[in-house]
Structure formats: C-alpha cells, structure tokens
Chain A
Amino acid sequence: DAGVTQSPTHLIKTRGQQVTLRCSPISGHKSVSWYQQVLGQGPQFIFQYYEKEERGRGNFPDRFSARQFPNYSSELNVNALLLGDSALYLCASIKTPGLAAETQYFGPGTRLLVL
C-alpha cells in the first residue's frame, strides 16, 4: 500500500502570496492532521480533519485554512504569506481518530520558503 503522499515537495513564494498544499492519506485512513515544523523545533499542530469535518485546530491565525474531500485527501491553504511561514509542512494520516492512542503516520512533507 502507498504511504502518505504530499505535493508539492518544495515551494518558493513571496510575501503576501497564497499557497495550497495537498495530502493523500494511507488507503483506508479517514483522517489527516497538518503540522508545521520550523527549523530546529518539533512539529506544531495546525488542523485535524475527519470525514470532511474539522476536529481540532491549533494556535494558528485565520490565514491558515484547510479542508478534506470525500476521498479523504486534504488541502492546507495559507494566505498572505509571511517570512515566518517558511517551514516544513507535514501531513499525518490517522486511521480512526477519536482514540487518543491512535498512531499518526507522516508524509514526506512540503518545504515552503517565503522570500
């Protein structure tokens, strides 16, 4: 089975622009979480989606939004990009959320550079 896929792998944008990142979870998994990882730090939670509904949101501004599609793939959108948005954006695939014990499997990430 294919693992978690993310696209694009790398992206360069300028301040003020908008970006859309995409993720497809592991086959059979119905939930995705998005994390931001800046250099030298651990990943920080942005959103979790399950069955197209938002199940959790981290401490990020409204410039960040996401959605999940009927096939369980997901998009993360970031508007009005700031230099500080430069980071590795990770998508995690979860089989059935709601159980605190559920393991999350990460995709390869999208590295975003904002100039």
Chain B
Amino acid sequence: QKEVEQNSGPLSVPEGAIASLNCTYSDRGSQSFFWYRQYSGKSPELIMSIYSNGDKEDGRFTAQLNKASQYVSLLIRDSQPSDSATYLCAVNIGSARQLTFGSGTQLTVLP
C-alpha cells in the first residue's frame, strides 16, 4: 500500500461544475495535509493546508479532512478552465518533517 494515494484520473468536468479530488493516507499519526496545484512544466503551488477534522474553505476551494477514515479531499466549486492542472496531495506521514506526495490527479475543466 502506498503511503499517500490519489484517484489517478484524469478527471474532466465542465466549466462551472464542482471538481472533487480525493486522497487517502496510511499513517493515522499524520498531522498535516496539503493540496498543491501543478501546471504542466511548472513547480507545485500551495492551494490549501488543513490540520483539523472538518472543512476548510478558501474562496472556491474547500479542503475536507477525516482522520478516522484517513482521507482528505479537495473540492473546487465553479471550476474554470484555468483550474486545469495536476493536483497533488501531500502529507507529513507520522511525525516526519518531509512531505510525502501522492502521484497526483490530472484535472481538465472543459469550456
């Protein structure tokens, strides 16, 4: 089992729809969870961080964390073509300082 797993995609949604991206992780002791967006040929850009169970909203983005079920998700409301990118889930596994990344989900928002 991989330490951080994401639905592999690719995921396509029409413009204006809600895009849902999911991630599961292996270590119940993990405390910090991050979503990064990566455009083709570019470096990862931080979108959201979440540390507590529940929802965290920032503009069109909502991160959801459920530590009991060991999953974290990202919802993108009113998806725009500019949201088309690969979304990376990253977790501080256990008490480690480094980030462990999933393999990413490629999202395409169709005009």
Residues of A that sit less than 8 Å from B by CB: 33, 35, 40-45, 48, 55-56, 58, 88, 90, 92, 97-98, 100-109
Shortest beta-carbon contacts, A-B, top 7: A42-B101, A45-B98, A100-B92, A101-B32, A106-B43, A109-B43, A100-B31
Please state if B43 and A100 are interface contacts (CB–CB under 8 Å): no
Closest to A6 in B: B43
| CB < 8 Å A-B pair total | 65
Q: 18 A-B pairs, CB-CB below 8 angstroms?
A: A33-B97, A40-B103, A42-B4, A42-B90, A42-B103, A42-B104, A43-B44, A44-B101, A45-B98, A48-B98, A88-B43, A92-B99, A100-B32, A101-B31, A102-B32, A103-B46, A103-B49, A106-B46
Interface string of B81-97 (1 = CB under 8 A from A): 00000001010100111
